[in-house]
Amino acid sequence: MTDGNIISIEGIARRYPAPGGKGKSTTIFENLWLGVRRGEFVCTIGHSGCGKTTVLNILAGLDAPSEGTVIVDGQAIDGPSLDRAVIFQSHALLPWLSVQGNVAFAVRSRWPDWSAARIEEQARRFIALVGLAGSERKRPAELSGGMKQRVGIARALSIEPKILLMDEPFSALDALTRGTLQDEARRICMETGQTTYMITHDIDEAIYLADRIVLMTNGPGARVAEIVENPLPRDRARTDLYRHPSYYPLRNHLIEFLVTRSRTLRDAPADGWDPRHPPVVRPGAHPELVPGEPSLHSVPNALSA
């Protein structure tokens, strides 16, 4: 795959044997290729069951592909690693440890040789970064859902992972908290140049956060139908997105995909569809693309911005 990618997914498949070992196995997806550039924020969208979490678990080293490999920073993945931090939908904190204790635990696992003072300092820094300074001594049971999720984010970032993997991290939160955490996640990832791979069902979340959005068709036999380059400027504000002329073309394109093309493109891929090079589109940033009329054309000359 192209150089310069910190993540290189190379022809992976995931199959499950038929129940009882009899009959045909189920192919969740196969021949899946994707590269993620260093510092890039990639979101994946697709219907329930298409294999998004499976791909993320393979990236995390928690699951293994039936075929193919994944290379992270030049090395094939062969199990979990502190180079890759995962934020799940539920925070998975250790209930008997304080906020400080939960984050320090991760820091100590990453750098066992560090002094206690240095570990505490690193933990404190990331707790402050997610806006929880002053809550270090609280235990998870004393925190709101949004605060727990912040601790999860602080813990993931405190080990300074090469890649951050997030599986619908904000979906269980109320809209207000979700918005605030999206702002924080974006700010931190931009400031630290964090490479991030995130799954979401929320189109506006993907539009706000992602540099590129990977569109997966329905499963079984899911494919990467298309990769959408976000035409919005990198310097963007969540509350102003809708003012940008590309916002509605982009949003309509994603909705149209989920409503119709996620199904039709699984059954019959677009002409010339190549699993190694799925079409790249940039809705709203090209004269050929009319709002509400998604295009299947690849638009390579629109990608240089």
Ligand X SMILES: Nc1ncnc2c1ncn2[C@@H]1O[C@H](COP(=O)(O)OP(=O)(O)OP(=O)(O)O)[C@@H](O)[C@H]1O
Residues that bind ligand X (CB under 6 A): 16, 28, 46, 48-54, 219
Give Cβ neighbours of residue 9 (< 8 Å, ≥ 6 apart).
Answer: 32, 33, 34, 35, 55, 59, 68, 70
| Residue with Cβ nearer Mg ion (27 or 180) | 27
Choose between 19 and 272: whose C-beta lies nearer to ligand X: 19
Q: Pick one of ligand X, Mg ion, none as the site partner of residue 48 (Cβ within 5 to 8 A by kind).
A: ligand X
Please name which of 232, 160, 152 lies closest in space to residue 189, comparing C-alpha atoms. Answer: 160
Helix (H, G, I), strand (E, B) or coil at 295: coil
Question: Which residues on adjacent β-strands are paired with residue 166?
Answer: 87, 198
Nearer to ligand X, 247 or 257 (CB): 257
Shortest Å distance, C-beta 168 to ligand X: 7
Q: Which does 16 bind (CB under 5 to 8 A by kind): Mg ion, ligand X, none?
A: ligand X
Report the site for Mg ion in 187-206 (rule: CB under 5 A).
none
Q: 238: exposed, middle or buried (C-beta count within 10 Å: 0-12, 13-18, 19+)? A: middle
**Taking CB within 5 to 8 Å according to partner kind, which of ligand X, Mg ion, none is near residue 225?**
none
Q: Is 200 helix (H, G, I), strand (E, B) or coil?
A: coil
Q: Is 53 in the site for Mg ion (CB under 5 A)?
A: yes
Of the pair 16, 96, the CB lying nearest ligand X is at: 16
Query: Least distance to Mg ion from the beta carbon of 52, Å?
Result: 5
- From Mg ion, ligand X, none, which one binds at residue 294 (CB under 5 to 8 Å depending on kind)? none
- Which of 233, 246, 245, 238 minimizes the C-alpha distance to 283? 246
* 3-state SS assignment for residue 120: helix
Q: How far is the CB of 30 from ligand X (least distance, A)?
A: 13
Cβ neighbors of 32 (< 8 A, separation 6 or more) are: 9, 11, 12, 13, 55, 68, 223, 224, 275
Q: Does 218 bind Mg ion (CB under 5 A)?
A: no
- Residue 57 binds Mg ion, judged by CB under 5 A: no
* Smallest distance from ligand X to CB 241, Å: 24
Across the chain, which distance is largest between two alpha carbons, in Å?
Answer: 60
What tokens does 245 get? Answer: 């002329």
Chain positions contacting Mg ion, by CB under 5 A: 53
